Amino acid sequence: MKYISGMQALNLPCELVTCGDWHRSGMDWDTPFILESDRSIFGDYGIEHNKPIPDNPALYSVANHIRACLDLLALEYYDLAQGMKEDLICTDKYNSEIFEKVLMMRKLKNWQEINHFMEQEYRLEWIDFREDRDGSKKSRKAQTDYPSIFERLAR
pLDDT score for 137: 67
Radius of gyration for the alpha carbons in the chain, expressed in angstroms and rounded: 19
**Which of the 8 DSSP states describes residue 101?**
H
Query: Mean pLDDT over all residues of the chain?
Result: 90
Instruction: Tell me the pLDDT tens digit for each residue of 77-114.
Output: 999 999 999 999 999 999 999 999 999 999 999 999 99
**Lowest-confidence range among 17-21, 26-30, 68-72?**
26-30
Total domain count, the chain: 1
pLDDT score for 141: 46
Query: Residue 62 in contact with residue 4, Cβ under 8 Å?
Result: yes
Instruction: Tell me the pLDDT tens digit for each residue of 28-56.
Output: 899 999 999 999 999 999 999 999 999 88
**Lowest-confidence range among 7-21, 25-39, 86-100, 136-150?**
136-150
pTM of the model: 0.85
The domain in which residue 108 lies consists of 2-153
Contacts 24+ apart (CB under 8 A), 7-13: 7/33, 7/68, 7/72, 7/80, 8/32, 8/33, 8/53, 9/33, 9/62, 9/63, 9/64, 9/65, 9/67, 9/68, 9/71, 10/65, 10/68, 10/69, 10/88, 12/51, 12/53, 12/62
Dihedral over Cα of 146, 148, 152, 154: its sign = negative
